[in-house]
């Protein structure tokens, strides 16, 4: 693992690392913010998953998360959104290929060789963090959040790993990808034509069919009502319907006038970090 960037920020440190990923069969990059508290004790970890066309840097540079993370004493890990490299399969479109990994484990070629983003986020990256930062990060206290495609990823990963994540939140998430154009384009190419296989990556389906609803972590969603993707691609009402069906703790905050951009994310970042920190518990 190689450190490729570092900046002091609100008493903590913002870094970027690159490493050889066995899961994705290429070099992967992630960002890590360590708050000042990490100098003296282990701190809980929040994972941020970014949206279509983004890298690990969009969140770091635009979300304004470091000030609040420093105050709360939490680390933030932000992986890239897809595999990268000359040998990695791609398409000439923003919603498929590089920058659009959808946080799935691809089973179809040419994508399966590299696009194993679910296992990367759930297994390989936490294992790497444990090996490299085991005395700094408290990986027994984790939460996850994200935006758009990354909101979809955060919801799916959180709902499929309820023993790991204390809370989940999302900005403008794709709540029912099996029903919308982005999912209809990506899922057949990544995981095949059998729609039964798609449901493993559909948050609304996972929520509605949860085996143990009372054990589900609390979920907070922020949705701008001026979001141009809202009606066609996002469908937060489907997540609410699923939550009502099983009695899950899901709250959708609809914000008048806000769009899909990082201006929206930055406006409510503090609320989300405080929500996640509250459910991860106190100092270790």
pLDDT in tens, 196-243: 999 999 999 999 999 999 999 999 999 999 999 999 999 999 999 999
Average pLDDT over residues 174-202: 98
257-260's contacts with Cβ under 8 Å and 24+ in sequence apart are 257/224, 257/225, 257/226, 258/224, 258/225, 258/226, 258/227, 259/224, 259/226, 259/227, 259/228, 260/148, 260/172, 260/224, 260/227, 260/228, 260/229
pLDDT in tens, 39-78: 999 999 999 999 999 999 999 999 999 999 999 999 999 9
CATH of 2-174+218-231+251-280, one of 3.40.50.10900, 1.10.1740.10, 3.40.630.10, 3.40.50.1820: 3.40.50.1820
Query: Quick check: 141 and 44 in contact, CB under 8 A?
Result: yes
State yes or no: is 114 an active-site residue: no
Catalytic pick among 90, 227, 235, 272: 227
pLDDT band, residue 282 (cuts 50/70/90): low
pLDDT in tens, 3-14: 999 999 999 999
Catalytic pick among 114, 147, 235, 260: 260
Task: Locate the domains of the chain by residue range.
Answer: 2-174+218-231+251-280
Locus of tokens 């609304």: 204
pLDDT band, residue 281 (cuts 50/70/90): confident
pLDDT band, residue 161 (cuts 50/70/90): very high
State yes or no: is 244 an active-site residue: no
CA distance between the termini of the chain: 27
Q: Which of 230, 164, 176, 185 is nearest to 203 (CA)?
A: 176
Asked whether residue 283 carries a pLDDT value surpassing 60, the answer given is: no
Catalytic pick among 9, 148, 169, 204: 148
State yes or no: is 271 an active-site residue: no
């Amino acid at each position: 693992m190689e450190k490729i960037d570092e900046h002091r920020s609100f008493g903590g440190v913002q870094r970027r690392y690159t490493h050889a990923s066995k899961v994705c069969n290429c070099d992967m990059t992630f960002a890590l913010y360590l708050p000042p508290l990490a100098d003296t004790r282990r701190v809980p970890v929040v994972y941020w998953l970014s949206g279509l066309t983004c890298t690990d840097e969009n969140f770091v540079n635009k979300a304004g998360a470091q000030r609040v993370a420093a105050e709360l004493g939490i680390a933030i890990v932000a992986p890239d959104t897809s595999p990268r490299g000359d040998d990695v399969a791609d398409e000439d479109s923003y919603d498929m290929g590089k920058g659009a990994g959808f946080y799935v484990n691809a089973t179809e070629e040419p994508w399966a060789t590299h696009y194993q983003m679910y296992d990367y986020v759930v297994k390989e990256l936490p294992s790497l963090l444990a090996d490299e930062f085991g005395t700094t990060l408290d990986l027994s206290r984790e939460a996850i959040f994200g935006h758009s495609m990354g909101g979809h990823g955060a919801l799916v990963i959180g709902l499929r790993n309820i023993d790991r994540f204390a809370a989940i939140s999302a900005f403008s998430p794709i709540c029912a990808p099996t029903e919308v154009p982005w999912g209809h384009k990506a899922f057949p190419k990544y995981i095949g034509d059998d729609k039964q296989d798609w449901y493993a990556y559909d948050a609304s389906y996972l929520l509605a069919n949860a085996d143990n609803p009372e054990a589900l972590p609390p979920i907070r969603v922020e949705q701008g009502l001026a979001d141009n993707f809202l009606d066609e691609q996002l469908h937060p009402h489907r997540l609410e319907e699923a939550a009502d069906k099983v009695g899950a703790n899901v709250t959708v905050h609809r914000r008048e006038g806000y769009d899909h951009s990082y201006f929206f994310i930055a406006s409510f970042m503090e609320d989300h970090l405080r929500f996640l920190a509250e459910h991860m518990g106190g100092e270790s």
